[in-house]
Amino acid sequence: MKIQVKVKPGSKNEEVTQKGDTLIVTTKEPPKEGRANRQVIKLLAKHFKVPQNQVKLVSGFKKRDKVVEIVQR
């Protein structure tokens, strides 16, 4: 399942919310050295109750708008 994600790095809190078809992920991590991306994967894994290795970043590695794939096994 592929999901559109909008990331808000450097926020005061961390949460996953939905706005239309897009998930909005706020994270405390800064967008440096992939730290925000790693935290987004952790938060989405927790949100969907799947292991982190089942959450894959498909596109948008250096952008706020990303496509993430959740692999169901």
DSSP H helix total and E strand total for the chain: 1, 5
Model confidence over 26-53: pLDDT tens digits?
Answer: 999 999 999 999 999 999 999 999 999 9
Instruction: Identify the pLDDT of residue 29.
Output: 94
For the chain, domains (ranges, CATH) are 2-70 (3.30.1200.10)
Task: Calculate the average pLDDT of the chain.
Answer: 94
Model confidence over 49-59: pLDDT tens digits?
Answer: 999 999 999 99
Determine contact, residues 52/41, Cβ cutoff 8 Å.
yes
Helix (H) or strand (E) holding 12: none
Nearest by Cα to 30 from 13, 9, 45: 9
CA atoms within 13 A on the CB side of 47: 19
